[in-house]
């Protein structure tokens, strides 16, 4: 059984306080449940829906396996960067730190830190984070997240970009919240803008004006500058929406083409996360399990995300459950 390690807490960012804004952070990060997943003869499932070679169990209760040329290593200094998908888990179990960040003891950085190969964790993840939050202060008195990285850092996880490309717009549109209450087609209204934002945030090239950086490549360059020897793992976004052809009471209230479009956009976002990581010689992971519905439509004891939050999963609305955070930690562990 894994034992706990020392933990350092970084400064925080602000968490949205309304359910509508919480939904705007997260609902649209839902990829297709089975997108390009690969079942293997040994029972493991491909970690990334976008073709990485890493593997992890379809069930988080299974054993982990290294594949290919991946080498087991020991990491003394682990820094977790990112947004709410890395900060949140079961909100009844606070990890401490700034209250606005709402970090949970069941978030994937904390679960991963229980791996005996991982040493001291500095968790600076925070709900509502955008790329400029990594290079500058999100709130008065809160340092930039990248300040937590130094020459001794040898493992970094990064969950970022979803809020920058417009998760809020997408969720508000498909759930018909203001200003999209009368929008007949989210695809027609938003697709061009969201696609352009994805290209801008995740497209190749770094910015010279680091204090107001808005591109993922700039973040990778700064990580390399501060900690050139660190292993960096980018995490994609766990699904809220079920696979095409499946539904539940929540999704049945949405316009079918809006749901289909949201899946397509999410696939673009995760593809962009993966491409940017690969371009910078890093790893991108996403746990998938084609045998069970792990979306927010799934059974409470099997779902990796939750639409409404609270009981019985304890998750924050429209965010990963503790089980989903375990799945992400397992995927990362299999890749390092």
User: pLDDT tens for residues 291-326?
Assistant: 999 999 999 999 999 888 899 999 988 889 999 999
In angstroms, rounded to a whole number, what is the distance separating the alpha carbons of residues 207 and 225?
Answer: 14
Please tell me which residue, 98 or 161, carries the higher pLDDT value.
161
Taking the CA atoms of the chain, what radius of gyration do you get in angstroms? 18
H or E element: which one contains 198?
Answer: helix 186-202
In angstroms, rounded to a whole number, what is the distance separating the alpha carbons of residues 219 and 335?
Answer: 21
pLDDT computed for residue 19 by the predictor = 35
pLDDT in tens, 191-213: 999 999 999 999 999 999 888 89
Top-ranked range on mean pLDDT: pick from 44-48, 92-96, 137-141, 213-217: 213-217
Q: Which CATH architecture has domain 7-335?
A: 3-Layer(aba) Sandwich (3.40)
SS3 string, 40-65, reads: CCCCEEECCCCCCCCEEECCCCCCCC
Structural domain boundaries in the chain? 7-335
What is the percentage of the chain residues whose pLDDT exceeds 70? 77
Mean pLDDT across the stretch 46-62? Answer: 31
pLDDT in tens, 218-256: 999 999 999 999 999 999 998 888 888 899 999 999 999
pLDDT computed for residue 91 by the predictor = 82
Among 135, 316, 329, residue whose Cα is nearest residue 221: 135
Q: Is the pLDDT of residue 84 over 90?
A: yes
State in Å, rounded, how far the first CA of the chain is from the last one. Answer: 19
């Amino acid at each position: 059984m894994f034992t706990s390690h020392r933990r350092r807490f970084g400064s925080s960012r602000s968490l949205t306080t309304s359910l509508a804004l919480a939904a705007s952070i997260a609902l649209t990060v839902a990829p297709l449940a089975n997108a390009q997943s690969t079942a293997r003869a040994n029972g493991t499932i491909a970690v990334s829906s976008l073709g990485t070679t890493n593997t992890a169990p379809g069930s988080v209760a299974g054993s982990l396996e290294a594949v290919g040329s991946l080498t087991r290593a020991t990491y003394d200094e682990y820094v977790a960067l990112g947004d709410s998908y890395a900060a949140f888990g079961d909100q009844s179990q606070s990890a401490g730190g700034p209250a606005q960040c709402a970090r949970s003891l069941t978030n994937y950085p904390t679960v991963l830190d229980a791996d005996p190969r991982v040493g001291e964790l500095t968790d600076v993840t925070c709900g509502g984070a955008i790329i400029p939050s990594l290079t500058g202060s999100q709130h008065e008195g809160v340092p930039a997240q990248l300040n937590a990285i130094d020459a001794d850092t040898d493992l970094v996880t990064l969950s970022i970009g979803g809020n920058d490309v417009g998760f809020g717009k997408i969720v508000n549109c498909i759930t018909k919240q203001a200003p999209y209450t009368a929008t007949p087609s989210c695809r027609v209204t938003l697709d061009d803008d969201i696609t352009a934002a994805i290209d801008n945030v995740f497209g190749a090239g770094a910015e010279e004006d680091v204090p107001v950086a808005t591109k993922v490549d700039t973040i990778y360059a700064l990580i390399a500058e501060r900690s050139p020897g660190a292993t960096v793992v980018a995490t994609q976004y766990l699904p809220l929406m079920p696979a095409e052809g499946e539904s539940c009471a929540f999704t049945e209230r949405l316009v079918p083409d809006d749901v289909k479009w949201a899946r397509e956009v999410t696939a673009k976002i995760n593809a962009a996360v993966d491409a940017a990581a690969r371009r910078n010689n890093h790893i991108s992971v996403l746990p998938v399990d084609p045998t069970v519905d792990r979306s927010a439509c799934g059974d409470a004891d099997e779902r990796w995300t939750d639409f409404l939050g609270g009981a019985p999963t304890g998750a924050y609305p429209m965010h990963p459950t503790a089980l989903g955070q375990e799945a992400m930690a397992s995927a990362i562990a299999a890749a390092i």
